[in-house]
Structure formats: C-alpha cells, structure tokens
Amino acid sequence: MALSDLNPVERNEEGIAAVLGILKQQFGERFQTGAAIRSQHAHTTTYIPTQAPDGVAFPETTEEVQEIVRACAAHRVPVIAFGVGSSLEGHTNAPGGGISVDTSRMNRILAVNPQDLDCTVEPGVTREDLNRHLRDTGLFFPIDPGANASLGGMAATRASGTNAVRYGTMRENVLSLTAVMADGETVTTGKRAKKSSAGYDLTRLLVGSEGTLGIITSLTLRLQGIPQAISGGVCPFPSLEAACNAVIATIQMGIPVARIELVNALQMRAMKNYSKLDYPESPCLFVEFHGSDAGVAEQAETFGMIAEENGGGPFLWTSVAEERTKLWKARHDAYWASLTLRPGTKGLSTDVCVPISRLAECVAETEADIAEMGLVAPIVGHAGDGNFHVLVLMDVNDPKEIALAEKFVSRLNMRAIAMDGTCTGEHGIGQGKIGFLRHELGHGVDIMRSIKKALDPQDIMNPGKILPA
Ligand SMILES: Cc1cc2nc3c(=O)[nH]c(=O)nc-3n(C[C@H](O)[C@H](O)[C@H](O)COP(=O)(O)OP(=O)(O)OC[C@H]3O[C@@H](n4cnc5c(N)ncnc54)[C@H](O)[C@@H]3O)c2cc1C
C-alpha cells in the first residue's frame, strides 16, 4: 500500500501548534514531543508506513482525557487513542498529525465483583495484568489475542483470539463502558446487569469503533470461572482441507471446544524450529477443552474420533499444565516464528472470517492462490469461528513484492466476502481494510458515516480510519 493510497487527512498547522502549547503547560513531563516516542506511537507492526502524531499525552484520569479532547476540539486537532500499539491495520497512525493519548497510566483495576462474575477496569490494564490480578479469585478474563494488548484497545478493535469459539469476542464480554466523546463530554453506556433492553446499544457502538467515536476510559467486563480441568493437544492431518473438515464436524456436533486452532504445514515448520516442537511438518489442529475431569476426557476422545474419520491423527492430548503451556506459547509465538522463514522481511498479517461451512473451501482456495502467486505466506486460524490469518512475508523495499501482497490480500478479502464472510474477523479496518468495507456492507457504510458525523462533526477522533474518504 503506497502512502498516497491511505485516506488523506489535512494537517491543521495552526491548531496543532496551539494544542502543543496548551498540553505542554497542562501535562509537563507527561506530554512528550520527541521524535522517537512519537514514532513509537504510530503504526509499527506491519509494512503500512508510519505516520507519527505531533505529541503524546499520558493522562491518568478521565478528567485529564477530557482536558485533552477539549483542547483538540477547540482547535480542530486529531486525537488518537493508544493502548499498546499491537493493532495490525495502521490503526494508531496519525495521517493528519495530532495528539496520541497513551492510556498506559490509566491502569487501575477499579472493582472485582466475584459474585456477579464481572470487573471494572481502566483502559490501560492489559489482559495479562487483569488475569494475574484475578488468579486468587478463581476467575479469569477469557479473551486472548496473541499480544498482551490493553483492554481499551481490545474493546476498540472488537478483538477476540484463540478461545473466542467458547467465550465469544469483546462484543460479548464488555457489559458497559465509559468514554470521552468528541465534545469532551463523558458517556456511560450501561450498568452491570447481565442483559438490558434499554434503548440503542451504545456499548456495542463503541466496541469496535477504533477510537473514531470516543476514548474509552473505563470498561466493565464479564468474567468466567477457571475450569476445574483443562486438557489439550495437537493433531496432525494429511491436508489443510481435512483439518478444516474436522473443525467443521467438531463445531457442528456441538462439542464445546475452548480452542481449536488451525496451523498449515509451512507455519508448523516455522513453529517447530522456533519453539522446538516435536510434531510432524503437516497441517495440524491445536485443541483445548475446558470442563470437569470426565467432561474434558470425553470431549478429547470424541474429537480424536472425528479427527480419525477425517484422516487425521494420532491426537495426542494431555492435562499436564506445563505441557499445555508450552504448546500454547508456541501457538502465540506463531507470528514471530513465521518471520524466521524469510529473515529480513516484514509480515503483512491479514485476517478474514467465513461461515464455518465455507471454511475448508476458503482455506483451500487461499492456499492455492499463495502457491500460484509464489508467496511465502503461512496460514494460522481460529478455525472454530471460521476465522483465519495469512502472514505474507515480503521485502518492504521492493514495490513489486508489495503490489503482489496487496493483490493477494484483495483477492482473499473478496473471496471471504463472496462466501458471505467478512474482510476482518478480529483485527479491524484501521487504514489497511478501508477499501473493502463498502463491498461487505454497502449502504451500511453511509449509515456509519452519518453516525460519525453526528458524534464527531469536526472529524477529530482518529480521522482517516474505518470510513472511505
Ligand atoms: C503477534 C500478534 C498477534 C495478534 N493476534 C490477535 C488475535 O489473535 N486476535 C485479535 O483480535 N487481535 C490480534 N492482534 C491484534 C491486536 O493485538 C489487537 O487488535 C488488540 O486488540 C489491539 O490492542 P492495543 O492495546 O494494542 O491497541 P492499539 O494498537 O494501541 O490501538 C488499536 C485501536 O484502538 C484504539 N484505541 C486504543 N485504546 C483505546 C481507548 N482507550 N479508547 C478508544 N480507542 C482506543 C486506537 O485508536 C486504535 O484505533 C495481534 C497482534 C499481534 C502483534
């Protein structure tokens, strides 16, 4: 993607200069304008070019976020929320400059209500911090994107990950939130009741809005009980299609699998070398079951039979925590392992999601496309949701390689949409997927634009993202 292809956002030099002066005075050392820190707060995870903000503020309270937004609103300056910067589609870039609002100092856990299975946190708390805090309560927060992302960032991207197949995504797990809107006012979108029919669902409007409507300053999240028993293992298959068919059968039979992750042969090679795993270099499913001792044993046995019927196996599974941890660490390190397949290159990580019945077909066509286009591009997927990722490894200094990767991604997105799926199951639109939104949602994009205009008439909240110019 050339910089010129990204949504342009005009710089407001005068406004930016005014806001830099105001925030320096208000925040002192907690407002930084050095080149290194500004570029760390722009997009850093893929080949999409870095577009740095003009300054980075580190607020500690909702009121301080309000002060920043009000200063930006008064001078029509972009304001871009920042969690830990692990998003993959240029979400945190500042195409028109402006102020990055780093939420890392808003990292307090405000309440845990074990009896109600919920908690309230500030947006800078990371999912690993929260789970460490919860350990002694017997509860955990299940949403698990590979990165140790902030909960504010996860809500803003409607993230999910390996165990969404059992526990849902951020859409199902945020009960309510408080956000500072573009005019500097705060809104709290709900109470702690497990369900509500009270008016428009503002929680779900803000979840997935990628910082384009407001800055989340607290979130109330659903929690789960830590299961009595967990078992899991790895099962090899003769082909990617066979592995997908086993996933489809597992889901259609209603086995309450907690994780079922697809890894193709190339990805398996990378993971074997990087994480020292002793499994065949063939397509594999990484599977995990949660429940009682008897329940997980039964689920594992049933899955083993399904695998065998689809030509897979042997399915080796264990309940030993250390062995499981090693497997899932390897799965979470898949991104870093892939980069070793072509040293010196960068990855373009793309994700699509299709109805489960179309998964095998979509993955098979995609693998054939990778071979035909001569790409080095391993596949991994949260296959139980029909969601999979391709990491295209490319030399970012070679325009031909970039063009080829973009062509591949475009074909993949259009294939998923044609199969009644989506161009992004969990990474979001950011800058990288703007071109596909209308293909997927048609007039829905105009409705989104009306909402954006009503709530952010000056277009200061993370401009240049989600909606086509
Ligand atoms: C190795 C790797 C593996 C990954 N695997 C997965 C995966 O399995 N599943 C998945 O869903 N994602 C995955 N991701 C993507 C990424 O981790 C998620 O998108 C994550 O939710 C981003 O959180 P963050 O804290 O890094 O947000 P950031 O990158 O800092 O921000 C992301 C977006 O959210 C907005 N934002 C941040 N904080 C707030 C706030 N408080 N209020 C309003 N808007 C805000 C930003 O403006 C930006 O638009 C992966 C990324 C990497 C690098």
Ligand 1 centre and the CA of 452: distance in Å?
Answer: 21
Which amino acid makes up residue 217?
T
Angle 334-431-77 (CA atoms, 0-180°, nearest 5)?
125
Query: Cβ(15)–Cβ(77) under 8 Å?
Result: yes
Residue of minimum CA distance from atom 20 in ligand 1: 154
Cα(338) to centroid of ligand 1, in Å? 20
Q: Which residues pair with 404 in a beta bridge?
A: none
Instruction: Give the Cα separation of 320 and 232 in Å (integer).
Output: 9
Token digits of residue 79: 């304001």
Contact predicate 198/190, CB 8 Å: yes
Token pair 């993971």 is found at 271
Pocket perturbation via mutation, ligand 1, pick of 157, 163, 187 by most ligand atoms within 8 A of CB: 157
pLDDT averaged over every residue in the chain: 95
Say what the pLDDT of residue 3 is: 46
Rounded distance from Cα 405 to ligand 1 centre (Å): 22
Distance 209 CA to ligand 1 centre (A): 12
DSSP string spanning 290-351? Answer: EE-HHHHHHHHHHHHHHHHHTT----EEE--HHHHHHHHHHHHTHHHHHHTTSTT-EEEEEE
Asked whether the beta carbons of 218 and 177 are under 8 A apart, the reply is yes
pLDDT at residue 7, as a whole number: 83
- Angstrom distance (rounded) from CA 109 to CA 186: 19
Residue 154 Cα to ligand 1 midpoint, Å, equals: 5
Pick from 64, 65, 82, 87 the residue to mutate for probing ligand 1's pocket: most ligand atoms within 8 Å of its CB: 87
User: Is the whole model's pTM more than 0.95, yes or no?
Assistant: yes
Nearest CA to ligand 1 atom 15: 87
Residue 433 has what pLDDT? 96
d(CA 375, CA 363): 15
Q: Six-digit token pair at 375? A: 């790409």
- The beta strands (E) that lie in 66-202 are given as 79-82, 99-102, 109-113, 118-121, 139-140, 174-181, 186-188
CA distances from 232 to 151, 245, 389 (A): 27, 19, 22
Residues 80 and 65: beta-carbon distance below 8 Å = no
- Identify the residues whose C-beta falls under 6 Å from ligand 1: 45, 80-88, 91-92, 103, 123, 145-147, 149-150, 152-154, 156-157, 159-161, 210-211, 215-216, 335, 426-427, 462
pLDDT in tens, 23-45: 999 999 999 999 999 999 999 99
What pLDDT was estimated at residue 278?
86
The phi and psi torsions of 174 (rounded to 5 degrees) equal -100, 115
Both structure tokens of 427: 């990474």
- Centre of ligand 1 to C-alpha 153, Å, is 5
d(CA 143, CA 288): 15
Of all protein residues, whose CA lies closest to atom 13 belonging to ligand 1?
Answer: 145
pLDDT tens for the 469 residues of the chain, in order: 554 467 899 999 999 999 999 999 999 999 999 999 999 999 999 889 999 999 999 999 999 999 999 999 999 999 999 999 999 999 999 999 999 999 999 999 999 999 999 999 999 999 999 999 999 999 999 999 989 999 999 999 999 999 999 999 999 999 999 999 999 999 999 999 999 999 999 999 999 999 999 999 999 999 999 999 999 999 999 999 999 999 999 999 999 999 999 999 999 999 999 999 888 899 999 999 999 999 999 999 999 999 999 999 999 888 888 888 888 889 989 999 999 999 999 999 999 999 999 999 999 999 999 999 999 999 999 999 999 999 999 999 999 999 999 999 999 999 999 999 999 999 999 999 999 999 999 999 999 999 999 999 999 999 999 999 8
Q: In angstroms, what is the span from residue 296 Cα to ligand 1's centroid?
A: 32
